[in-house]
Amino acid sequence: MARCASQSSGLPLCIVIVSRVVVTGARGQVGQALVELCPSRFTLYSYARDELDIADHSSVDEVLSRARPDMLINAAAYTAVDNAEQEADAAMRVNHLGSQVLAEACAERGIRLVHISTDFVFGGTAYKPYAVDAPAAPLGIYGQSKWLGEQAIREIASDHLIVRTGWVYSHRGSNFFKTMLRLHQERSEISVISDQVGTPTRAESLAAALWRFSELRDLHGTYHWSDAGVCSWYDFAVAIGRCAAERGVLAAPAEVKPICSDQYPTPAKRPHYSVLDKSASWKELGYYANHWEEELARAVECCATALELPQPA
């Protein structure tokens, strides 16, 4: 934001006021993308998990007192969906208590809080994309902890923005995309669940949207963001192999076979349908998301060097 004042010469003096932003979870895949894509007009203070415990009042107070931000983007989260079933206290501490502590600290200081949530707050029984006000019905501890975190933020911090997303991946970190690339390389056949439907979201496209959301200072409440389109995990796995082979990252894709969820039981139950309605977000941000296949191609192109995978002969 720029403000102009008059000099004695009569010429305008432009004073640029740069917003100060704290990003938590800075070593996660979304956190890294937020740091990388931070617009130059923001002064960024980024903190990884070992640098800032969002569930500890003193740790949060120390960081906010030192950084004095106008805004905090919370990319810190417990995201191990299956492990959460056995580590409920750990998941609740980060996703529920951590959100509450951040909301209290931000409310006390007049700091805008932008928080990332998940499609797993829904139960997966819908037949069309979930609206932001659709009833929550989380199926597991992870979804429950994120839903409780959302509620804490709404109750405590008036200046907040909650952005739900889903199926996040990147060429960084550990995720479905990276796992499938490895399996396409190592195996001739892969079995992947075909009866869970959602939308893959590249961390970098989510980060870009979050920065745009952050600039809309009069925007409050809950919004949805993911890349455009719909697919199953099976469809995503097939597309990963095909795209990687077309771009020379893999010599050839493995054969992908569709299976049902009950053929691959996991500790946590997952929604069969978790597509999010992004129409309100697209209207507010002024642009549509790219299709997930377009963003996948960008992720694969990053992998030729980032993953140092063997190149085809």
Out of 47, 130, 142, 234, pick the active-site residue.
142
The SS3 call for residue 112 is strand
Q: Which residues pair with 23 in a beta bridge?
A: 46, 73
Whether 78 is catalytic: no
For 126, other C-beta atoms within 10 Å of its C-beta total 18
**Alpha-carbon radius of gyration of the chain:** 21
Q: Alpha helix (H) ranges present in the chain?
A: 29-36, 57-67, 88-92, 98-109, 141-156, 176-186, 203-215, 233-246, 279-285, 292-306
How far apart, in whole angstroms, are the C-alpha atoms of residue 239 and residue 275? 18
Cβ burial of 137 (10 Å; 0-12, 13-18, 19+) is: middle
Residue 79, Cβ density class (10 Å: 0-12 exposed, 13-18 middle, ≥19 buried): buried
> Sign (positive/negative) of CA torsion 261, 278, 206, 218?
negative
Catalytic residue list? 142
